């Protein structure tokens, strides 16, 4: 399962290289979840999750506060959550999650990004069945045995725990995301190198150099779209 962590690292590195884009995407997501529920993360689990994830991307407090205040003020912007599925070069599979205030704009933009970069959009369900929703939590400074002991003492189940690149990665069921984090925090761990609810491919594939170059252009084109929040795929970029 280590290759799945490599894909998340690659995504984080790509987004870290364009901070204004990732900050804008987080600002929108924080506004939406704060508006949908309570603007208090202790009373709104969805907001709490987004803020935990924002912390791993070093999103400035000012952006977070601005989005929450906008939601408190009853901002008039309304967004729909959309999921698109498609195929890239050489059997690669892609899931695109978006937040949009204009579905008639977003769908054609996503379709164009696919078609112009060697891919094509599929129908709903054509790809998602090959992915599993997964909580991914990464920490540094502990061994996998240490983390296993912490989770066992807290009676927390995990799908897998691996050591890779000086980090320990915990894979768990989505509803265990906060449970895993809380168990680790109770053991004195406060910083997380990754805190994601992700869609992980059941089987990763490796592309040849030419196909991977085209695939990466497709992913970049999708992530550059204003309405796109997350892009998941089944290609091993390690």
Q: 5 falls in which pLDDT band (50, 70, 90)?
A: low
* Chain segment 70-125, per-residue pLDDT in tens: 998 877 788 999 999 999 999 899 999 999 999 999 999 999 999 999 999 999 99
Confidence check: pLDDT of 16 > 90: no
* Chain segment 159-200, per-residue pLDDT in tens: 999 988 788 999 999 999 999 999 999 999 988 988 999 999
Residue 111 within any structural domain of the chain: yes
At 212, which CATH number? 3.30.70.980
Residues 209 and 97 occupy one common structural domain? yes
Residue 156 within any structural domain of the chain: yes
Residues 63 and 99 occupy one common structural domain? no
Residues 9 and 64 occupy one common structural domain? yes
Query: Which residue, among 56, 64, 94, 62, has the nearest Cα to 195 in the 3D structure?
Result: 56
Side-chain half-sphere exposure of 57, counting CA atoms within 13 A:
30
| Integer Cα distance of 173 and 122 in angstroms | 27
Distance of CA 206 to the CA centre of its chain: 21
* Chain segment 151-169, per-residue pLDDT in tens: 999 999 999 999 887 889 9
Residues 141 and 124 occupy one common structural domain? no
Percentage of the residues of the chain whose pLDDT score is greater than 70: 92
Domain end call among 49, 72, 95: 72
Side-chain half-sphere exposure of 74, counting CA atoms within 13 A:
0
Confidence check: pLDDT of 36 > 90: no
- Number of domains observed in the structure of the chain: 3
Residues 13 and 104 occupy one common structural domain? no
Query: Which structural domain, as residue segments, surrounds residue 6?
Result: 2-72
Residue 238 within any structural domain of the chain: no
Confidence check: pLDDT of 13 > 60: no
């Amino acid at each position: 399962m280590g290759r799945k962590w490599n894909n998340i690292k690659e995504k984080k590195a790509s987004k870290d290289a364009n901070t204004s884009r990732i900050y804008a995407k987080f600002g929108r997501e924080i506004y939406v979840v704060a508006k949908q529920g309570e603007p208090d993360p202790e009373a709104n689990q969805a907001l709490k999750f987004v803020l935990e994830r924002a912390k791993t991307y070093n999103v400035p407090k000012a952006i977070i506060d601005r989005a929450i205040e906008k939601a408190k003020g009853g901002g008039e912007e309304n967004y729909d959550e959309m999921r698109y599925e498609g195929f890239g070069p050489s059997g690669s599979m892609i899931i695109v999650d978006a937040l949009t205030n204009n579905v008639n704009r977003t769908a054609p933009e996503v379709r164009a990004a696919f078609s112009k970069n060697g891919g094509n959009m599929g129908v709903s369900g054509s790809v998602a069945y090959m992915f599993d929703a997964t909580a991914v939590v990464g920490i540094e400074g502990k061994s996998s045995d240490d983390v296993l002991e912490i989770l066992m003492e807290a009676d927390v189940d995990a799908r897998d725990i691996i050591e890779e690149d000086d980090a320990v990665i915990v894979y768990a069921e989505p509803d265990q995301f906060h449970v895993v984090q809380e168990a680790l925090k109770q053991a004195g761990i406060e910083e997380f190198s990754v805190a994601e609810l992700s869609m992980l491919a059941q089987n990763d594939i490796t592309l040849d150099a030419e196909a991977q170059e085209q695939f990466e252009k497709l992913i970049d084109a999708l992530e550059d779209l204003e309405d796109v929040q997350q892009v998941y795929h089944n290609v091993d970029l390690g």
